[in-house]
Amino acid sequence: MEETDRFSTVGSAPNDTLLRFSLKLDGVVSGGVAALSLLGARTLDPLLGLPVWLHWAQGAFLAVYAAGLWYAATRPAVIRSIAVAAVVLNVVWAVGCAAILAAGASWFPLTLLGGGYVGFIGVAVVVFGSMQYAGLRRAG
């Protein structure tokens, strides 16, 4: 059985260009944040005010997430279920960032840099999710 038969797929070039681009961009950025989180957790802890365990958990999740996005985006036809999951996960991630910022020091003792980092990540995932949603709609 061919791999595209096992998954629901969407479009092919040129209709899926935005979707492929947004999945790859999200994958590259997520992979970079994963590496930073996994390799620099102990350094980031005092700078951001987020605990080491959270950096490690984020890094591990994002490493798998980034690989899945890249896989979905580089198939002959984009794997729709992974693209839809990316949109949903980006929304959930943005809500989580907003919750961390709203909870303030009651959850984590964020530094000013940490608050900026969490806010920037929240905005970035909204942008990625929006691009992916638009790409899914365009691809049909």
- Using 50, 70 and 90 to split pLDDT, how confident is the model at 33? very high
For residues 54-73, average pLDDT: 96
Mean pLDDT of the chain: 90
- Tens of pLDDT along 96-132? 999 999 998 788 999 999 999 999 999 999 999 999 9
- Using 50, 70 and 90 to split pLDDT, how confident is the model at 10? low
CA–CA distance, 9 with 46 (Å, rounded to integer):
44
- Using 50, 70 and 90 to split pLDDT, how confident is the model at 1? very low
pLDDT for 98: 96
Count the residues in the chain.
140
pLDDT for 4: 47
pLDDT for 14: 57
